[in-house]
Amino acid sequence: MSPQDSAAVSLPDKKVDGGWNRVHPASPFVRGWVALAAVGFFFGRDAFERMLQGRDFLDPNLNGRVPWLLAGGAVVLLLTVGGFILSWYFTRYQVAEGYVRVNTGFLFKQQRQARLDRVQAIDIVQPLLARIFGLAELKFEVADAGESAVRLAYLPLDQAKQLRATILARAAGVVSGPEATEEVPEAPEHVVLSVPPGRLIGSLLLSEQTIGILVGAAVVVAVSVFTQNQTLFLALIPGILGIGAAYWTSFNKGYNFTAAISPDGIRLRYGLLDTQAQTLPPGRIQALMVTQPPLWRIFGWYRMHVNVAGYGVSASTEGAARTMLLPVGLKPDVMRMMSLVLPDPGVEDPERVFTAGLEGLAPVGSSNPAPDEQVPDVQTDGFTTTPRRARLLAPLGWRRNGFRATRTALLIRSGRWWRALVMVPHQRTQSMALHQGPWARRFGVADLVLHTTAGPVSPRVFQAGVSQAVELFDQQAARAREARKRQTSEQWLAQVAPQAPEVAAAAELGKPAELGKPVQPEQHQTSTHQEDRHDG
């Protein structure tokens, strides 16, 4: 952040002392509606049941205790509402001096803050009740945060979008100078793809989860028939309920998925009841993985996950949705999203290379046992695969396991049935390690593990020849150093402008012109400390 950013960002909210702003007054009620519902359920359940049964609204056996019960319920309700009001009054936020700060608590006070130049991504989340009130929550992701460093809930939707646009512009360094304290309009966007609901439903029905369900059901039926014990079917009821909830959650999170490009990054929107809008600067994406379950091959479907600095690892469904770049898509969709993450693939024929990574197999006669026995690249599409001598370690996958380095990224493919292609931009390689167990040593192979930020993608070159793995280790370390010296990740729109000319043009006109204006080199040094680790 430049020194001119020291002033607080101007916002239309009601100000309090010191340039602090309060969230929307309805925020505590949106967050705590469950508590209100619990109070109402506890005190009104019996009366409601009696009313449905046609009996007196109040139980005559209570006699003189009714006033005391009503008074107790009123006290609990007043305390709950009073707590909500105090929570709102003592919740304040500020965007100033290069930080976003949030103060909460009236008994136990807490202040959380995030540096704007460390902001990796900002999400706008709207639970169902918040959508009814027209409110939204902002999640600020910063480097090395396993979960959201700062959560600002709730703001009016328009104000949340405005604040997100302003902070993203500051974080990316695309707005600087004396005008840095002015509000930045939301950047224009161009939708590049959307997922039809029918395809989403089909992908869930043909997912790995469905395969597991069918196998488990077949086992239960077989055991039940063999033992003549019908009670086993009762044990399936909790499982069926859990499976139904999982399917519904996946559908709810993937519904209406759209991807768009804008000057401040890749915008993802999804959700049926609870909606979420993410903005991912491509320079913050550390690794990408394309997978294809066996049954999806029938329709040519793929899914894409990414590691994003600041998102970390989360086992929750929400965490999985946030690292999903594409829940289900066709090959052209995959190629389009790849072109956004890596505008310069570093090869002359990217479609052929990526197709080989997604679907390719080494010829049956290829072996790659040693440098003097290498099969020419034209036969293996440029991918160096597992030596034939190690085929016993991976009878089905040895012809798929392979790697290829382009000028800008390392591609790693694996899996014969569950196909996977991992792509790691060279500048995102933080460190590396060679792994070799006793069996791998026996067959003269080793695994090369690349370390990026935490996430669902774990880049690993499986069972490469030892000499090839060592050579890749040294070369990849050199590529990573050189790539970090020349990276200009925040200027990504200029590289993808041919795909969205209207967005590029809009970024150069009027107020949003600053979003596309070049900045000084020192303003581009927004790489996190995660990228300064050793190269292996």
Instruction: Please give the order of strands across the beta sheet that includes 445-451.
Output: 431-435, 445-451, 460-465
Write down the pLDDT at residue 515.
32
Contact assessment for residue 526 and residue 171, using Cβ atoms and an 8 Å cutoff:
yes
pLDDT of residue 361: 84
The tens digit of pLDDT for each residue in 191-233 reads 999 999 999 999 999 988 888 888 877 887 788 778 777 676 6
CA-to-CA separations, 83 to 39, 93, 127, 287, 393, in angstroms, rounded: 14, 19, 22, 44, 62
Q: Looking at 228-315, list the stretches that DSSP marks H as alpha helix, in order from N- to C-terminal side.
A: 236-254
Question: Quick one: pLDDT at residue 439?
Answer: 93
Residue-wise burial string across 461-481, b where 16 or more C-beta atoms lie within 10 A, e elsewhere: bbbbbbebbeebbeebbebbe
Per residue in 450-504, pLDDT (tens digit) is 998 888 999 999 999 999 999 999 999 999 999 888 765 444 555 555 555 555 5
* Mean pLDDT, 10 residues at a time, the chain of 536 residues: 40 56 82 68 63 58 60 74 81 82 82 76 84 86 61 87 79 51 71 94 89 80 78 72 84 91 85 86 85 93 88 58 89 91 86 90 60 41 89 90 93 93 92 93 94 90 94 94 73 54 50 34 33 37
Report residue 71 as tokens. 């008074």
Residue 516: which of 500, 494, 499, 498 has the closest Cα?
Answer: 494
- State how far the Cα of 185 lies from the Cα of 182, in Å rounded to an integer: 10
| Whole-number pLDDT of residue 382 | 86
Per-residue pLDDT, 225: 79
Q: Do 465 and 444 form a contact (C-beta atoms < 8 A)?
A: yes
CA–CA distance, 485 with 527 (Å, rounded to integer)? 11
pLDDT tens sequence across 223-281: 877 877 767 667 677 777 878 888 888 898 899 999 998 877 788 999 998 888 888 87
> Is the entire prediction scored with pTM above 0.85?
no
DSSP string across 412-475: EEE-SSSEEEEEEEGGG--EEEEE--HHHHHHTEEEEEEE-SSSS---EEEEEEHHHHHHHHHH
Beta-sheet pairing, 419-425 with 409-414: antiparallel
Q: How far apart, in whole angstroms, are the C-alpha atoms of residue 38 and residue 17?
A: 36
> Which pLDDT score, from 0 to 100, does residue 425 have?
92
CA–CA dist 291, 421 (Å, integer): 7
| 3-state DSSP assignment of residue 155 | strand
CB-based contacts of 347, cutoff 8 Å, min separation 6: 353, 406, 407
Check if the beta carbon of residue 466 is closer than 8 Å to that of residue 369: no
Write the burial class of residue 254 (CB in 10 Å: 0-12 exposed, 13-18 middle, 19+ buried): buried
So what's the pLDDT on residue 131?
87
pLDDT for the residue 167: 77
pLDDT value, residue 49: 62
Distances from the Cα of 132 to the Cαs of 13, 128, 397, in angstroms?
20, 7, 51
pLDDT of 453: 83
Eight-class DSSP state of 347: S
Q: Can you give the pLDDT at residue 109?
A: 80
Q: Dihedral of the CA atoms 114, 118, 124, 125 (nearest 10)?
A: -60
